[in-house]
Amino acid sequence: MRRVLITGAAGFLGSHLCDRFIKEGYHVIGMDNFITGDKKNLSHLEGNPNFEFIEHDVTEFISIEGGLDYILHFASPASPIDYLKIPIQTLKVGSLGTHNLLGLAKAKKARILIASTSEVYGDPLVHPQTEDYYGNVNTIGPRGVYDEAKRFQESITMAYHRFHGLETRIVRIFNTYGPKMRLNDGRVIPAFMGQALRGEDLTIFGDGSQTRSFCYVDDQVEGIYRLLLSDYSYPVNIGNPYEITIKDFAEEIIKLTGTNQKIIYKKLPQDDPLQRQPNISLAKKILGWEPKIERDEGMLKTYNYFKSMSKEDLHKRDHKDFKDHIKR
């Protein structure tokens, strides 16, 4: 049986990837230190003979018994509310963690896929963003800890590919949503849905003219899976190219939830990108991939997931206490 290691396995995307690879007949080894992941995301896999879990911080030395065919590195804080609170750990997981996993892939002769992000493009001056665009990133701004961690991650991955001949894949993930997202992780979809479900006004940062492009998680996982099994070693955008303004999106949420909330406006955070839209021509060409799930379908599934939460979970304001992770 083929064996795959998935780091960040208890996170939003990581847990969906565990499900997909088990469905495809793999033996999955999940790894997470629960700094932002949630044990509930993996509870349904307890007792599954094709799944095992290791609680571990990837910035520390990693040892895996037996062979590995693939490694998927998805360990990292991924929302501003997290990486602004734990900036050093965010940088470490993108640098030390990636270095450890590349070394493990080399030792095991495994193919490794690195989860990068559209944030490598920063606040883009090119629209939509293609893989050959170098980006417009403020290296010393508050968001730089995440942006630069991912940019370094790409660089060291390509260095291992060129110098050691390691089989590498790099996915640049654009805004993704779906069940298992943390309701209070600060990203726009759970933020809007949480506010609507609590009967609060929807908060827009800036004037709402900034754009995003949202990809449903099943489409994202399909793109990642195809990229892993492809022969392409350079970065590939995986996301939905359908662009919408944040103001229009807030109005969609109000309509979907059947609430009468107002929209209120607050100051736009520093370096928040004004446009975000992937050019997916490369993914179409080399993977035969494009998103299939329409936003109204995906949003309804996501809304039903959040609506099923308990009142206690719905009113939690901060999901994580990072005290144990800020010692170094």
- Residues serving a catalytic function are 146
Distance between CA 170 and CA 113 in Å, rounded? 6
Residues 100 and 106 sit within 8 Å (Cβ to Cβ): no
H or E segment at 149?
Answer: helix 144-164
Residues 154 and 235 sit within 8 Å (Cβ to Cβ): yes
Among the listed residues 99, 38, 44, 96, the one whose alpha carbon sits nearest the alpha carbon of residue 71: 99
Distance between CA 220 and CA 301 in Å, rounded? 15
Cross-strand partners of 122: 136
- Matching residue, tokens 């879990």: 53
Distance between CA 94 and CA 147 in Å, rounded? 10
Distance between CA 40 and CA 77 in Å, rounded? 17
